[in-house]
Structures are given as structure tokens and as C-alpha cells.
Amino acid sequence: MKIAPSILAADFANLASDVARVAPEADLLHVDCMDGHYVPNLTIGPPVVAALRRHTDLFLDCHLMVDNPAVLLPAFADAGADGVTVHVELGDPRPLLDGIRALGMRPGITLEPETPFDAVEPYLGEVGVLLVMSVRTGFGGQAFIPEVLEKVRAARRIVDERGLDLEIEIDGGIKLDNAHLAAAAGADVLVSGTGIFHQDDPAGAARRMREVAVAARAAAR
Ligand code: DX5
Ligand code: ZN
């Protein structure tokens, strides 16, 4: 089980120190990049990834919620992004996935809560991560949508049957009280923003989340 704190919920004016606080309990850092077009919110992009890169060795897991990822991929690579995940809702993802790989980053694909699993199934053998959204993209702090767990289970079955080298990541509304559901369904990576950074002890929250998830996964096996 891996924990990926989402810096969307961190203090952007104190990003380095917020990241340093959670780093001992984090496996990746989830970076939500929104362009004000694909979603009605505007966040951060390659300059902030480059700044983060100078402060951490953690895997920088960039979730692109932008209309035109292709124009930004070289900048993300130059900034030091480790992985880039793109939305299947934008259309045929293959050119983007090829571009991400060609730039030396790990390609990922993601889908909105209302998008059926069939939309991503053809690409599972071509990506390093499937990101299952458990809230509609755009904002942190929304309520977890439990119905998406069916997609996590479907992905888990395929990964296990085919022996795919694919991580299943879940993003949105993950907190200490529902992390067990995601882990039991088969998620490998839990993204959590407010569930970590808005807690009194962010590192402790991440640590407990991992413990809960590890126990739930072991019990589900
Ligand atoms: C939503 C983002 C999520 C968000 C999660 O568009 O993709 O990564 O930061 O935040 P929480 O964990 O607060 O729902
Ligand atoms: Zn995200």
C-alpha cells in the first residue's frame, strides 16, 4: 500500500515545509494541475513541480486536469515530474501516453466517477497506473463516491489475472474512515488531500491511513 498526499490541500505559501512534514510517511506526492478549462478551477503547473523537485526526492505524481495536456508534457518532464496521468475523457489517450513515455515519465490514465470502466480497459496494458477518481475532479474536500469501488474491483481482477505491472490508485474523499474500503477493493495507492493536510498531525494521519489500508488489504486476500 502506498500513500500519496495531495498537495492541493497543503499551504501553497509554505509548500516545502508542508511536504517535509509528511514526507517520512509518504510514498508519492500527488500534484493536481488544473487549467480552468477542463475543470472550473485553476491550480499549479510545471514551475511549481520544478520548485518541489528541489526540495524532495518523492515521486511527483502529476494529475493533469487540463484541456490540452500535449502542449504541457515537455515542461512537466523538464520540471522533473516522475509520472503524468491524463483523462480518458479527452479522447484517444494513446498519443499522450506515448508522449509521456517518450519523455521518460510514467504514463497514467484516469477516469471521472461517471465514466464507465470500459473506457479505460483497453489501455491497462500500456500504462503504469490507473487512477480511479472517487470525486468529480476540480476541488479537494468533496465526499467520497463509494460506487466507484466497483471499478477498482474490476481493475484489480484484470491486473491479477493478466499479471499486469499496473498500480491502481484512487483519488478523492479518501480519509481515515474509508481508506479500508479502497484497500479492500484492491487499490494500491491512496491519494488524500484534506484527509492528510487538514489534520492536526498530517504525518500521523498518513501513517494511520497506511496501517488501516494494509490491514484491510490483508483481510481481503
Ligand atoms: C480533485 C483532485 C484530488 C484532490 C483530493 O480534483 O484530483 O486529487 O486533491 O482531495 P481530497 O482528498 O481532499 O478529496
Ligand atoms: Zn488528483
Regarding pTM above 0.95, the answer is yes
Q: What is the pLDDT of residues 102-159, one digit of tens each?
A: 999 999 999 999 999 999 999 999 999 999 999 999 999 999 999 999 999 999 999 9
Residue 177 bears catalytic tag: no
Q: How far apart are CA 62 and CA 145, in angstroms?
A: 22
Ligand 2: centre distance to CA 6 (Å): 7
Domain count, the chain: 1
**Would you say the CB of residue 134 lies under 6 angstroms from ligand 1?**
no
| DSSP, residue by residue, 59-110 | EEEEEEE-S-GGGTHHHHHHHT-SEEEEEGGGS--HHHHHHHHHTT-EEEEE
Q: How far apart are CA 38 and CA 50, in angstroms?
A: 23
Q: What is the pLDDT of residues 65-110, one digit of tens each?
A: 999 999 999 999 999 999 999 999 999 999 999 999 999 999 999 9
Q: In CATH, what number is assigned to the domain containing residue 49?
A: 3.20.20.70
Ligand nearest to the CA of residue 173, numbered in listed order: 1
Residue 111 near residue 153 (C-beta atoms within 8 A): no
Q: Give the atom of ligand 1 at the shortest distance from the alpha carbon of 175.
A: 12
Protein residue whose Cα sits closest to atom 9 of ligand 1: 140
Ligand 1: centre distance to CA 170 (Å): 10
Q: Which residues, 6 or more positions from 131, have their beta carbon under 8 angstroms from its beta carbon?
A: 63, 85, 108, 109, 110, 111, 169, 170, 171, 191
What count of Cα atoms within 13 Å lies in the side-chain half-sphere of residue 184?
10
How confident is residue 221, by pLDDT bands cut at 50, 70 and 90? Answer: confident
Ligand 1: centre distance to CA 12 (Å): 15
28: containing domain: 2-220
Residue 57 bears catalytic tag: no
